Every structure is written in structure tokens, then in C-alpha cells.
């Protein structure tokens, strides 16, 4: 987007021009503030202090609020700068790939698809003689409307909706108008939306939106996050690192093994996401096929509905009210929340490791870390990811608890909530990409890791454990007295071990041990992460 302003401080109005790549443009008149003609733009100052002595004084802020800018809503037609949601504004370029699926355009497109598929299904039912089997030409015509559905088509639907004040009925009218020119389909226009309630169309559209968005965008990005963290695990499998439990030095691990834990956890949740059955219903106004049977009492409508829903790649739910109860959505969103929480845990750990100096971050020429401290390179990608994961999870949690609840056979509260799913997925996607970007900047600082490992008191654990094996009395208590509140060094540890009555082999092992080598099988666990994920979880799709 190009943004250009023109300001004339010497007149009573300020013409402003907004231009963008989509060619929309507005010219405005904005009352100017009382500024001297010799003032520069940066000389303008605002005072928020109210004056009770001069009732004619209007603060610049109040004057601005009363100006044409705020009265003329056309100024704020949607752009990156005027969007209320940052996923449609500041972060649009990072999440726009979700738009074909999760936007209102996507919802309308899937509604059109369901309506067309239902009309074709009716033409295949022999008992519905009024809708003869369609020719190949008629089928191609109908499927071409769905396959070629464009933004202009969606705008046409929205124009119809302005008259009908009903979004699904607008789709039906759009299709009738679109098919009027085809002689074969024109004879059966009234069978568009036959025996359907709006929710028969909507619930399938929402399920298809989720299915395609997850399979095409979300799951592959989750897989990329898991793969990148797996690579971190394998590449750093051998690098020892001091652990911290309760924030205090603890038995050493390896950097790679700690990364492998996150890869394994994320992979399990990703599998659970892909195992959620996306359900659909097609049973009429209250789930009983009332209208269907009134028109064609001899047809097995439940089987027809089941076949139709499954033909769309969804699972059939036979027990419904006017709506599909959305329980599967609660399962799905809870699973995504768990994935997001694990990634948030990863973000915070990496943030902490950067703070400890275990990682350095590569920089790009011209980038600024802090506006006042030139030396800083802030871990902003992991902070951005953490913030967006929190934002996503707050909404996803609301969806999970709200959507399965609907008064009696249906209330409308789910409708407005469902329209926000794309925003939550957008925040999740943005978080995944931010984590990936942050990981791409990390450089392991082995020098700092080695410095941190000069913490010889952590060897109290293996020493007292070996002492237990060889029946030395009170091993824990002896090490507690030796280490707690005292400076423990390599030499003092060595002297302590030398004084123990242990077999020569056991004593030699302990004398050779250091915090750098006391890592158990951490390296092996890190190197085996790929095979664990492949055998335990896989990468299935919905």
C-alpha cells in the first residue's frame, strides 16, 4: 500500500489523499488546528487540560473528533491501516493465505458449493422425478460456478443480501439468477435449497472451511514447526547444558534433548488435531426430515443425507437439532489450544535461554532492537509468538465452551461466534510463523553454555546415588552437609570422592565425571526424535 498525505497549514482546511494498490482514493477536508503559518508540523502540541474560563475554547482532540474525518466513514474503507483486527491489518501479509478459506468470501464460496452439490444429488435420486438426471453439460455448468467462484460473485451475493437481509437466502437467489440462462437447469431452479434450513448449508460450509484451512495451511505449518524443532534437537543433541529446576541449577542435560521434548509434545497434539472427526448434518429445520417426508414420503432421507455429507469428505451426525451441535469444534479447538500452549512453553524457554546467553541472535543490517539502547537484540519473534498464541487461545477457549451450548432446538448466538474462527486461526498461524522466524535467527553460544556448566555441586546427585549402591551410611545427608551453603569446586568434589570407601571402579567413574559429561542418555534421546515421531504420531490429515 502507498500512503500519501498533503497538509496545508496556511488555510482552514487540510486536503488529505489516500492511495493504495487497489486504487481506492478519498479526498477529504479536515478542519485545521489554530497553528501559526510559520509553524512546522512537528511544532503542533495538544493540551488535554480543560479550561473553565473560556467556554468557546475547543480542544484540538475534540475538534478532531467532530471533524469530517470521523464523520465520513468512507475514509476508513478497509485497508491495512484501517482494519480493526491486526490480522487483517498489520499482519495481513503473514496470514492472508487463510483468506480463501476462513473469510466471509470463503464462507459464501462454500455455501455455493454445498447448494450446488445438493442440487446435483437431487438429480441422482430416481424418486425425485421433478429433477431429471443432469447432462454432462449441466453438471459442468453447475460445477463451473463453484470452481470459478470469484470475489465479484461474492460481492453480487452481498448485494442480494442487502435486499433480503438473509445471507443464505442470498446465495440461493444468486444461484437461481446464475442458472437462469441454462435451459436444463432453469427448469428446476426451485430445487435449489430444497427442504433445507439455512443451517444445513452453514454447518457443512463451516466444516469444509475448517477442513481445507487446516489441511492446506495450518497443519503443514504445524508440521514445519515440529520439523524445525526436530532439527534443533538433532543438531544440538551432544551439546551439554545445565538444567534448572525451580530456577536452580540441576542435573545437566543437552540442548538437543530439551528441544526434542517440545517436538515430541507438539507432534502428539498435532496428531490429535488430525484425528478429530469433522461432522455435518443435513436433516432440515429441527433434525427430523419433516419437510423432506412431506414432499417425498417414500424416500429414505436419512441415508440420502448421510451419503451426501460423506460425499463432501465429512462425517455424518444423525442426532441433531436445527444445528449440528458443534461438539467436534470444541474437540478441535481444545486440541489446537494444547498445541498452542506447548509452543508458548517453547517460546518462553527459548526466551529464557536467550536471556542466559545460551543463544545469540543473528541480525540484519538496518534493523533496530531497542529505540534507546543500541546494543540490544530483543527476542521479539518469540514474544510476538507468545502474545499471539495467548490471543488465539482466549478465543478458541471461548469457542470451545460456547459453541456446544444452544437453547432448545437452536438459538443464533453461534452464528456471530463462528465468524471469528478465522481470526483465531490467523493469530495461531502468525504465532507459528513468528516462532519459525525466531528459530531461524538463533545461534548456539557453546562458550556460554560451558561457563554455565561450571557448577560442580550438581554432581552431588550421582555421588550420593553410588554411595547408596555400596551401602555407605547416610549418603544424602553427607552430600547435603558438604554442598549446601558452601562453594563447591572441582577440587573439593575430587577430595570428597577420594575419601569415600568405594570399589576402585566406582571411584574411578566418579572422579572422571564432570558436569559436562553427566548427561545420561540425553544425546541419544535427541538423536532418536525422528523415529519416535514417525512411529508414534505420523502426519495424518483431517
Q: Which residues are catalytic?
A: 246, 370
Euclidean distance between CA atoms 527 and 234, whole angstroms: 5
Cα first-last separation, the chain: 36
Asked if residues 244 and 353 have their Cβ atoms less than 8 Å apart, the reply is no
Listed in sequence order, the residues at least 6 apart from 393 whose beta carbon sits closer than 8 Å to its beta carbon are 337, 340, 341, 344
Euclidean distance between CA atoms 278 and 209, whole angstroms: 11
Euclidean distance between CA atoms 328 and 60, whole angstroms: 52
Euclidean distance between CA atoms 411 and 417, whole angstroms: 12
Asked if residues 186 and 152 have their Cβ atoms less than 8 Å apart, the reply is no
Euclidean distance between CA atoms 322 and 356, whole angstroms: 56
Listed in sequence order, the residues at least 6 apart from 82 whose beta carbon sits closer than 8 Å to its beta carbon are 75, 76, 89
Euclidean distance between CA atoms 160 and 249, whole angstroms: 67
- Helix 421-439, helix 219-235: angle, nearest 10: 20
Euclidean distance between CA atoms 325 and 228, whole angstroms: 37
Asked if residues 112 and 171 have their Cβ atoms less than 8 Å apart, the reply is yes
- Helix 327-356, helix 219-235: angle, nearest 10: 30
For 400-438, give one letter per residue: b (16+ CB within 10 A) or e. beebeebeeebeeebeebbeebbbbbbbbbbbbbbbbeb
Q: Which of 214, 106, 213 is nearest to 154 (CA)?
A: 106
Residue spans of alpha helices (H) in 413-485: 413-418, 421-439, 446-452, 460-469, 475-483
Euclidean distance between CA atoms 208 and 312, whole angstroms: 8
CA angle 199, 147, 540 (to 5 degrees): 75
C-alpha cell at 177: 439468477
C-alpha cell at 106: 470463503
Cβ neighbours, 10 Å, residue 343:
27
Euclidean distance between CA atoms 60 and 54, whole angstroms: 15
Listed in sequence order, the residues at least 6 apart from 294 whose beta carbon sits closer than 8 Å to its beta carbon are none
Amino acid at each position: 500500500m502507498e500512503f500519501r498525505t498533503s497538509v496545508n497549514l496556511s488555510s482552514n482546511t487540510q486536503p488529505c489523499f489516500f492511495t493504495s494498490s487497489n486504487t481506492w482514493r478519498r479526498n477529504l477536508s479536515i478542519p485545521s488546528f489554530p497553528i501559526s503559518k510559520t509553524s512546522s508540523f512537528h511544532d503542533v502540541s495538544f493540551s488535554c487540560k480543560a479550561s473553565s474560563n473560556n467556554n468557546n475554547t475547543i480542544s484540538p482532540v475534540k475538534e478532531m473528533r467532530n471533524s469530517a474525518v470521523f464523520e465520513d466513514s468512507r475514509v476508513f474503507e478497509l485497508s491495512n491501516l484501517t482494519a480493526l483486527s491486526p490480522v487483517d491489518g498489520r499482519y495481513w501479509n503473514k496470514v492472508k493465505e487463510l483468506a480463501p478459506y476462513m473469510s466471509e468470501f470463503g464462507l459464501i464460496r462454500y455455501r455455493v458449493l454445498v447448494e450446488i452439490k445438493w442440487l446435483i444429488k437431487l438429480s441422482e435420486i430416481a424418486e425425485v422425478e421433478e429433477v431429471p438426471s443432469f447432462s454432462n453439460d449441466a453438471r459442468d455448468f453447475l460445477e463451473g460456478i463453484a470452481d470459478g467462484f470469484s470475489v465479484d460473485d461474492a460481492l453480487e451475493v452481498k448485494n442480494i443480501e442487502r435486499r433480503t437481509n438473509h445471507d443464505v437466502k442470498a446465495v440461493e437467489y444468486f444461484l437461481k439468477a446464475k442458472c437462469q440462462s441454462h435451459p436444463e437447469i432453469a427448469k428446476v431452479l426451485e430445487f435449489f435449497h430444497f427442504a433445507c434450513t439455512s443451517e444445513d448449508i452453514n454447518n457443512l460450509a463451516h466444516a469444509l472451511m475448517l477442513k481445507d484451512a487446516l489441511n492446506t495451511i495450518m497443519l503443514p505449518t504445524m508440521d514445519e514447526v515440529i520439523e524445525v524443532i526436530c532439527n534443533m534437537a538433532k543438531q544440538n543433541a551432544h551439546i551439554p547444558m545445565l538444567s534448572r529446576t525451580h530456577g536452580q541449577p540441576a542435573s545437566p542435560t543437552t540442548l538437543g534433548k530439551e528441544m526434542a521434548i517440545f517436538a515430541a509434545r507438539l507432534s502428539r497434539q498435532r496428531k490429535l488435531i488430525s484425528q478429530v472427526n469433522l461432522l455435518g448434518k443435513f436433516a432440515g429445520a429441527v433434525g427430523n426430515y419433516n419437510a423432506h417426508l412431506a414432499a417425498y414420503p417414500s424416500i429414505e432421507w436419512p441415508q440420502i443425507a448421510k451419503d451426501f455429507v460423506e460425499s463432501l469428505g465429512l462425517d455424518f451426525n444423525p442426532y441433531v437439532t436445527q444445528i449440528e451441535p458443534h461438539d467436534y469444534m470444541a474437540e478441535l479447538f481444545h486440541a489446537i489450544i494444547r498445541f498452542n500452549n506447548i509452543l508458548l512453553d517453547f517460546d518462553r524457554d527459548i526466551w529464557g535461554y536467550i536471556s542466559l546467553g545460551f543463544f545469540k541472535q543473528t541480525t540484519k543490517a538496518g534493523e533496530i532492537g531497542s529505540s534507546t539502547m543500541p546494543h540490544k537484540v530483543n527476542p521479539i519473534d518469540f514474544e510476538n509468538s507468545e502474545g499471539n498464541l495467548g490471543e488465539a487461545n482466549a478465543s478458541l477457549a471461548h469457542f470451545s465452551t460456547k459453541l456446544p451450548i444452544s437453547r432448545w432446538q437452536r438459538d443464533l448466538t453461534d452464528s456471530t461466534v463462528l465468524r471469528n474462527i478465522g481470526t483465531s486461526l490467523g493469530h495461531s498461524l502468525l504465532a507459528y510463523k513468528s516462532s519459525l522466524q525466531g528459530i531461524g535467527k538463533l545461534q548456539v553460544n557453546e562458550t556460554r553454555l560451558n561457563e554455565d556448566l561450571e557448577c560442580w555441586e550438581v554432581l552431588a546427585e550421582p555421588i550420593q546415588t553410588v554411595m547408596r549402591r555400596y551401602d555407605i551410611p547416610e549418603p544424602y545427608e553427607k552430600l547435603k552437609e558438604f554442598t549446601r551453603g558452601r562453594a563447591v569446586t572441582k577440587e573439593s568434589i575430587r577430595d570428597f570422592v577420594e575419601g569415600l570407601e568405594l570399589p576402585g571402579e566406582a571411584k574411578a567413574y566418579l572422579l572422571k565425571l564432570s558436569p559436562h559429561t553427566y548427561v545420561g542418555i540425553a544425546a541419544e534421546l535427541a538423536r532418536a526424535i525422528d523415529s519416535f515421531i514417525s512411529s508414534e504420531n505420523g502426519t495424518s490429515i483431517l
